[in-house]
Amino acid sequence: MRHRQSPTRVATFVAEAVNIRQMQTTTEALQRNNRRAVLVSDQHALLRGFNGPAELNFAIAELTADVDPATHEALVLMDGSDKLDASARDLAKRFMDAGKPVIALSGAAGLVSALVGNDAPSADTASALIDGQLYQVTDEDADWKLLTAVSERLDAQQAVHA
């Protein structure tokens, strides 16, 4: 019987009123590549998300101030991260300085663009900052495509080092 390696951790920054569709996309895309979203925020321990009339609660695993980029493979900024702008930018800068990818999903891409001095992209743009280079995808599947592309890049880097 063959056992899979434990999933690697990806810090996923969220704010109040979690975008459920984006959370599902993130979780599924990461799981397909043996990665696990670890919810981080500097807000209280439980956050709410809405999917139509249904409300879902999410537990925060780590407070932003306690997140160590060395224990995570990358950072994902979810839609709504701008509600905690200073905290999200600080965390993104710490990951960037540690040489870790920073992925900003649709609605949060302006935070990453600002780190490199670019203008804010359109609302349907997802961005990634990898090794000082800004990558952007703009279409209805931008979040999925960018999460998958970054995961594949991380896999390739791991294969080279193995």
What's residue 4's pLDDT? 54
Q: Is the pLDDT of residue 92 over 60?
A: yes
Q: Shortest CA distance to 109 belongs to which of 151, 76, 154?
A: 76
User: What pTM value is reported for the model?
Assistant: 0.91
Residue 16 half-sphere exposure, CB side, CA atoms within 13 Å? 4
How many residues can be counted in the chain? 162
Residue 2 inside a domain? The answer is: no
Residue 82 inside a domain? The answer is: yes
What's residue 1's pLDDT? 41
Tokens linked to 110: 């302006």
Phi, psi (deg, nearest 5) at residue 35:
-130, 155
Residue 12 inside a domain? The answer is: yes
Residue 37 inside a domain? The answer is: yes
Domain count, the chain: 1
Residue 150 inside a domain? The answer is: yes
Which one is predicted more confidently, 149 or 18? Answer: 149
- CATH for 127: 3.40.50.880
Q: Is the pLDDT of residue 30 over 90?
A: yes
Which one is predicted more confidently, 95 or 59? Answer: 95
For residue 93, the surrounding DSSP H or E stretch is: helix 85-97
Identify the domain containing residue 148 by its residue range: 8-161
Residue 73 inside a domain? The answer is: yes
Could you tell me the end-to-end alpha-carbon distance of the chain, in angstroms, rounded to an integer?
22
Residue 3 inside a domain? The answer is: no
What's residue 75's pLDDT? 98
Q: Shortest CA distance to 16 belongs to which of 62, 68, 57, 63?
A: 57
Residue 50 inside a domain? The answer is: yes
Helix 142-161 vs helix 20-32: crossing angle, to nearest 10: 30
